[in-house]
Amino acid sequence: MTTQPKASHFIDGQYVEDTAGEIIEVIYPATGAIIARLHAATPSIIEQALTSAKRAQKEWATWSPTERGRVLRKAAQIMRDRNHDLSVLETYDTGKPYQETSVADATSGADSLEYFGGLIASITGEHIPLGEDFVYTRREPLGVCVGIGAWNYPTQIACWKAAPALACGNAMVFKPSETTPLCALKVAEILHEAGAPAGVYNVLQGYGSVGASLITDARVDKVSLTGSVPTGRKVYAAAADGLRHVTMELGGKSPLVIFDDADLENAVSGAILGNFYSSGQVCSNGTRVFVQKGTKDVFLERLSARLAGVKMGDPQDPDVNFGPMVSDRQRQIVEGFIAKGLEEGATLITGGKRVDRGGFFIEPTVFADVTDDMTIARDEIFGPVMSVLDFETEEEVLARANDTVFGLAAGVFTADLTRAHRMAAGFEAGTCYINTYNDAPVEAPFGGAKLSGVGRENSKAAIEHYSQIKGVYVRMGDLDAPF
C-alpha cells in the first residue's frame, strides 16, 4: 500500500498542495520509518478551505434531509467495502494493531455515517399553538463547522464529527492531528465519491497554529475539538471571543470499580479493555481500577495470568494484539509517569519497560497499592499503565472515584443490581458502564462532565450540537400598537 497521499489537503472536492507549508513527517510507530511527508496548511490553503466550505454549505443546506442522508449512507457503504485498506492505513497512521483497526475504526466511522444519514430525515420542528396565532420551529444548520482531531482514532474522530455536521446541513473544515494526518483524507475522498458536493467536507493539515487560525475566522460558526484539556481550554477561549458553538471531547482519568461480588473474569476483561486496548491511548480508559479488598489478590493474579496473552509485534500482522505508542514523545511521557509511580511508592506488578525492538513499544504496565494522591492516580497518562487502588465500602469508593477534575467515563462491575445503578447515578461522568467497559456505539451519547468536556457526540444528542432552533411567530389577526 502506498501511504503517501496525492497531496496534503482535500479542498473543494480535490487534492491540493502548497509546498510552502511546514513539513509534517508521518512516522509508522511500529518501526519509526517515515511513511509520508505532508505540508501544513499555509494562509492561502486555509482561505481556500473556508471559502469553499462557506459556499458549499449554502447549497448543501437546500438539499432535503433525505437527499443528504442518502449521501452519508452511501459513504458508509463505501467505507465498509474498503474496510481492509482503510484499516491497514489506520494501522500505519497510528500503530494500532490491525486486529483492532479492522473492527473499530472505519467500521465505527461507517456506523456513524449510516446512523446520522438515517436519523436526519426524522428530525423536525414543532408547532406551538397560541390560540389563533402560532409559533413553529425550524431546525437549521449552524453553518461552517471546524473539526480538530486527536491522534488516537483518526478515522473515527473524522466521521464522528462529519456525520452529524453534514446530516444537519453544515459544511466542515477538518484538521486532523499532525501525528496521524492520513486517514481523514480518505474520509473526504469517500464523502465526495458518495455525492457530497465539493467543499462540504474539507481536510487541511497542520500543527496547533493552523487549528488556532481556523477558530477565530469570522466565517466559522462552530468548533468541535477532540484533544487534551490544556488544548481544550485554549480552543474554548478562542471560540468564546466570537461566541461560537463548541463541542469539547477532552481527556480523562476515569474510575473502574470492581466489587467483591463481581464476575472476576469479566472484571479482568473490563480492566484489560479499559487500559490496554490501543496500547492505552483511549480517552475514556478506566485507569484508576478500584478493587474491593477481598478481591485484590485474586484480581492481580488473574490479571497477570491474562497478560501472558499479550502478543506484540508488527501491528499489520492480524495475530498481534498489542501495538506501540503513537510516537517516541508519547512513549517518553509514559515512561516519565512510570518513573513517578515507582518514586512515589506504588508496587510494580508487571511491565514498566520499553521493548527492545524497532518502534515505540512499551510493556503493558500494572501498578498496585496506588493511593489517591499519587501522580499516576491523578494525571492522564494516555498509555498502557493501570493503577490498582484498594477500597472497602461503596460510599468510600464513590467519593474517591469522583475526587478528580475529570469526568469523562466511569465503570462498575458488580452482581448487585441496585448497587450498579446507584453507582451509575452517583458517578460524576458523562459516560458510564455497568459490567462492561469502553463500548461506544453510535446510538449512545458520548462525552464528558467537568474538565473532560462540553457537549456530546453520537446519538440524537449530537443533533443538538450541530443545529439551532429558529422560532417563527405567526400572527393571524390584526396587530395593535400603542401609537
Closer by beta carbon to ligand NAD, 414 or else 431: 431
Closest separation in Å from C-beta 314 to ligand NAD: 24
As a whole number of angstroms, the distance between CA 415 and CA 483 comes to 72
Quick check: 413 and 266 in contact, CB under 8 A?
Answer: yes
Which whole-number Å values give the CA distances from 82 to 123, 278, 427, in the listed order? 30, 21, 39
Active site residue 183: no
Which among 100, 114, 189, 249 is annotated as catalytic? 249
Spatial CB neighbours of 190, under 8 Å, sequence gap ≥ 6: 75, 78, 79, 82
Closest separation in Å from C-beta 303 to ligand NAD: 23
Closer by beta carbon to ligand NAD, 148 or else 423: 148
As a whole number of angstroms, the distance between CA 148 and CA 160 comes to 11
Closer by beta carbon to ligand NAD, 114 or else 380: 380
Closest separation in Å from C-beta 288 to ligand NAD: 14
As a whole number of angstroms, the distance between CA 406 and CA 378 comes to 9
Which among 159, 168, 183, 283 is annotated as catalytic? 283
Cell representation of residue 198: 465539493
Active site residue 396: no
Binding-site ranges for ligand NAD (CB under 6 A): 148-152, 175, 177-178, 207-208, 211-212, 226-228, 231, 234-235, 249-252, 283, 380, 382, 408, 448, 453
As a whole number of angstroms, the distance between CA 168 and CA 166 comes to 5
As a whole number of angstroms, the distance between CA 138 and CA 316 comes to 48
Closer by beta carbon to ligand NAD, 60 or else 277: 277
Nearest alpha carbon to residue 285 among 389, 409, 406, 432 = 409
Closer by beta carbon to ligand NAD, 77 or else 436: 436
Closest separation in Å from C-beta 216 to ligand NAD: 9
Closer by beta carbon to ligand NAD, 299 or else 382: 382
Which among 74, 161, 175, 296 is annotated as catalytic? 161
Give the three-state DSSP class for 104. helix
Spatial CB neighbours of 2, under 8 Å, sequence gap ≥ 6: none
Closest separation in Å from C-beta 376 to ligand NAD: 15
Q: Which residue has the cell 441496585?
A: 418
CA atoms within 13 A on the CB side of 143: 13
Closest separation in Å from C-beta 196 to ligand NAD: 22
Active site residue 249: yes
Beta-strand runs (E) in 13-132 = 14-16, 23-27, 34-39, 127-130
Closest separation in Å from C-beta 177 to ligand NAD: 4
Closer by beta carbon to ligand NAD, 65 or else 407: 407
Spatial CB neighbours of 94, under 8 Å, sequence gap ≥ 6: 29, 101, 151, 152, 153, 154, 180, 278, 281, 323, 326
DSSP code string of 181-210: -SHHHHHHHHHHHTTPPTTSEEE----HHH
Read off the amino acid at residue 118: G
Quick check: 128 and 63 in contact, CB under 8 A?
Answer: no
Active site residue 159: no
Catalytic residues: 161, 249, 283, 457
